[in-house]
Amino acid sequence: MASMRRIAVLTGGGDAPGMNPAIRAVVRTAAAAGVEVYGIRQAYTGLLAGDFERLTSRDVSGIIGRGGTILQTARNLEFKTVQGQKRGLRRLNEHGIDGLVVIGGDGSLRGALALHELGFPVVGVPGTIDNDIWGTNMAVGTDTALNTILDAIDKLRDTAASHERCFLLEVMGRNCGYLALMGGILGGAEFVMIPEHPTTLEEIGKVLENAYMRGKSHAMGVIAEGATPKIHEVAEYLSQHEVGFEVRITVLGHVVRGGSPGAFDRLLATRLGVKAVELLLAGESGIMVGLHGREIGTVSLEDATTKQRAVSEEYISMAEILAK
């Protein structure tokens, strides 16, 4: 295989804190190997539009601590079609690109797999606050998002305790309850609701009633946005059934995506970005780099995008036991 002279990088799906340090690591690792890097703006939308910009080491100065992604991100339906993928491949060839690093969630990685299957060299980096990607202990962005949630929980607890209130906190997570579950355990919540583990209103009511009667001064429930029943139904039920606490709702929303990446995410993003480029330049393709124990390892993009990450039963029971 001819050696690579020019590679490209894009960030896809929802933005996650840590995407910038990953871009920086890609650009500087390639530069050190004498390889040019192009950034593709707005993920597969920019790929199809030919929105490429040359990124030098100086262009990524000062971004290691910035949230979001300097390349921006977008959702693109056309790229889900084979025709769209072929057009994307054509754009890469027009720009003389020899390989691509895709940083993003499972949808973005499916796009990366499609390009690999068309014969284009691609390496994926898991970047999503959801932590729903098989083949890495943690995705870039999850740890920072979790810390933002804990900050919110700690603040809500201060006000909850002053008024004997129960706060219901909704956090992102349409299909994956990782953030709600870990936020609940680490924030000391009385209950957690996640999509993978349906709960009934009666069960939640009992938990809170017991907490009130055992003398707790306040309570907290962390609810993933995809969990059923929904946060407003829970609030209505608790208010009607007089569990003891007054109920208040907070929806954290997109706040969770923002902010400066923490130390963990900066390090993870940097290690994954470096490894992705090293492997791409060594001729690898169709793989995703990930955190395996303390080491950076790889899995196939096929496995990363088809295998399901199981919710930890150990954490679910921990959340229940430690809330007593």
> Is 36 or 170 the residue whose CB approaches ligand ATP more closely?
170
Which helix (H) or strand (E) segment holds residue 192: the answer is strand 191-193
Q: Work out whether 286 is an interface residue with ligand ATP (CB under 6 A).
A: no
Q: Say if CB 36 and CB 52 are below 8 A apart.
A: no
Which region, judged by CB under 6 A, interacts with ligand ATP, from 10-18, 26-34, 142-150, 289-297?
10-18
What is the widest separation between alpha-carbon atoms in the chain? 72
Over its C-alpha atoms, the chain yields an Rg (Å, rounded) of 22
Q: Work out whether 80 is an interface residue with ligand ATP (CB under 6 A).
A: yes
Return the sign of the alpha-carbon dihedral for residues 134, 140, 145, 147.
Answer: positive
> Is 55 or 113 the residue whose CB approaches ligand ATP more closely?
113
Which helix (H) or strand (E) segment holds residue 96: the answer is none
Q: Hey, what are 29's tokens?
A: 């690792």
Q: Which residues of 1-14 are buried (b: 16+ CB within 10 A; e: fewer)?
A: eeebebbbbbbbbb
> Is 105 or 221 the residue whose CB approaches ligand ATP more closely?
105
> Is 66 or 75 the residue whose CB approaches ligand ATP more closely?
75
CB of 151 to ligand ATP, least distance (A): 21
Q: Mask of contacts with ligand ATP, 110-149, x by CB under 6 A?
A: xx--x-------------x-x-------------------
Q: Mask of contacts with ligand ATP, 86-105, x by CB under 6 A?
A: ------------------xx
Q: Say if CB 79 and CB 44 are below 8 A apart.
A: yes
CB of 46 to ligand ATP, least distance (A): 11
Instruction: Among 88, 107, 184, 262, indicate the residue that binds ligand ATP (CB under 6 A).
Output: 107
Taking each helix axis as running N to C, give the angle between helix 142-163 and helix 178-187, from 0 to 180 degrees, rounded to the nearest 10: 50
- Distance separating alpha carbons of residues 212 and 204, to the nearest angstrom: 12
130: annotated active-site residue: yes
> Is 11 or 29 the residue whose CB approaches ligand ATP more closely?
11
Long-range (24+ apart) CB contacts under 8 A made by 37-40 are 37/6, 37/7, 37/8, 37/9, 38/6, 38/7, 38/8, 38/9, 38/95, 38/97, 39/8, 39/9, 39/10, 39/70, 39/71, 40/8, 40/9, 40/10, 40/71
Map the footprint of ligand ATP across residues 241-260, applying CB under 6 A.
none
Q: Work out whether 108 is an interface residue with ligand ATP (CB under 6 A).
A: yes
Map the footprint of ligand ATP across residues 12-31, applying CB under 6 A.
12-14
Instruction: Among 106, 143, 170, 196, indicate the residue that binds ligand ATP (CB under 6 A).
Output: 106
- Distance separating alpha carbons of residues 26 and 87, to the nearest angstrom: 24
Active-site residue, selected from the candidate residues 15, 98, 106, 130: 130
Residue recorded with tokens 């970005």: 273
Which region, judged by CB under 6 A, interacts with ligand ATP, from 75-83, 158-166, 178-186, 227-235?
75-83
Q: Work out whether 190 is an interface residue with ligand ATP (CB under 6 A).
A: no
Cis omega before residue 126 (within 30°)?
A: no
Instruction: Among 19, 29, 44, 221, indicate the residue that binds ligand ATP (CB under 6 A).
Output: 44
Q: Work out whether 177 is an interface residue with ligand ATP (CB under 6 A).
A: no
Q: Hey, what are 251's tokens?
A: 């929806």
Instruction: Among 52, 79, 178, 245, indicate the residue that binds ligand ATP (CB under 6 A).
Output: 79
> Hey, which residues are catalytic here?
130
Q: What residues line the site for ligand ATP (CB under 6 A)?
A: 12-14, 44, 75-76, 79-80, 104-108, 110-111, 114, 128, 130
